[in-house]
Amino acid sequence: MEKVAFATRMHDLGGDVVRNMFLLTENPDIISFAGGMPSPDALPAEQLRKIADELMQDAGQQILQYSTIEGYTPLREWLASAVAEQGMKATTEQVLITSGAQQGIDLAAKCFINPGDCVLVERPTYLAALTIFKTYEVEFGCVDSDDYGIIPESFEEAIVRHNAKMLYVVPTFQNPTGVTLPAERRKAIAEIAGKHGVIVVEDDPYAKLRYDGEPVPSIASYDENDVVIFLGSFSKFISPGLRVGYAISPPEIHEKLAQGKQTTDFHTSNLSQRMIYEFCTRGYLEPHLKSIRKDYAIRRDAALEALEKHFPEGTRWTHPQGGLFIWVVLPEHIDTTELLPKAAAKNVAYIPGVPFYADGGGKNAMRLNFSNASLEQLDVGIKCLGEVISEAMKA
């Protein structure tokens, strides 16, 4: 039999990074800083179990049946009100429930991107988003960033240079760097995108995980030209396994996103949506957030302290105000991909920097997740990493 010819969109997706990351996290002997996973202690399993039992008892037949594409209406109504915290004015009709925020990225690409279109991204950016966009056979353009995120002037220059159609951005506690885009830059990005008719996919799953500083309005809150698609998720602060996210967009865009979802999975799990809604409206959400913010702040501080103590001179890292990640940059001659097997031999894992770049780069960088390790593991694991890095710097 002749070899099967896969579609060109499946070439060179780089998905092995994500698959291998989850394989590492399943090894109980590995201290993993690789995933973006919440702590097991941050998953409200007992409350959600009780909610699920009640829902199946009271509305089981309805939950097990097909439902509306846009999602559970009470949850959509709640979200339209809740996003006012981020400066947004939304109606229920603008809210689409998705199977995780990652589906929102896919739907945005499905609705707007033709093969050869240019998508602008940060350097670095969320690696799974790059994989999604590759399946739509895009061209990438990169926008310069600094310690505060995207530089607006570079954004406008990149639009003109690449004839760009879309910007993908993670503005709050960015994955992978942990940096947060200031309000004035968010406003400028919305204005520049509106001026040029460029769609902005604002991916914001981490905003509720703030440990220091003041909240910043969303890019969508500055959108006066109906060009921003705002994506949110319950994965990072309630449960990633329930796969509930949402997209809030202008009416015309919302209609197309809903049509795109209809061809993908018809609707998000009824049980998951109802569980999330009940958790958020029964008074569980705020106490839960208060608890996990306190815990994650302690873990972040422990990670930063361990880096200060164990990493050699010549290395540097971000100091995020929230989220789940710290971005570490090593001397230029160090290749973190080559270091990974040596770290794994010491039972420590991380994600090298290269997969987070659309145009090359990140060879000497790594992403560390601090939320899924104990305080002891943070110290021991970062100490082992420091030893591996020190040995490489001496070679």
Residue-by-residue DSSP string for 6-39: --GGGTT--THHHHHHHHHHH-TT-EE--S-PPP
DSSP 2: P
d(CA 221, CA 213): 19
- The verdict on domain 8-44+286-394 having CATH code 3.90.1150.10 is yes
pLDDT of the chain, 395 residues: tens digit per residue: 467 778 877 777 665 655 555 555 566 789 999 988 899 999 999 999 999 999 999 999 999 999 999 999 999 999 999 999 999 999 999 999 999 999 999 999 999 999 999 999 999 999 999 999 999 999 999 999 999 999 999 999 999 999 999 999 999 999 999 999 999 999 999 999 999 999 999 999 999 999 999 999 999 999 999 999 999 999 999 999 999 999 999 999 999 999 999 999 999 999 999 999 999 999 999 999 999 999 999 999 999 999 999 999 999 999 999 999 999 999 999 999 999 999 999 999 999 999 999 998 999 999 999 999 999 999 999 999 999 999 999 87
Domain residue limits, the chain: 8-44+286-394, 67-281
DSSP 323: S
- The verdict on domain 67-281 having CATH code 3.40.640.10 is yes
Q: Torsion angle, CA of 116/120/125/126, rounded to 10 degrees?
A: -50
Query: Are 8-44+286-394 and 67-281 the same fold in CATH?
Result: no
Q: How many C-beta neighbours within 10 Å does residue 339 have?
A: 20
Report the predicted TM-score, pTM, of the whole model to 2 decimal places: 0.95
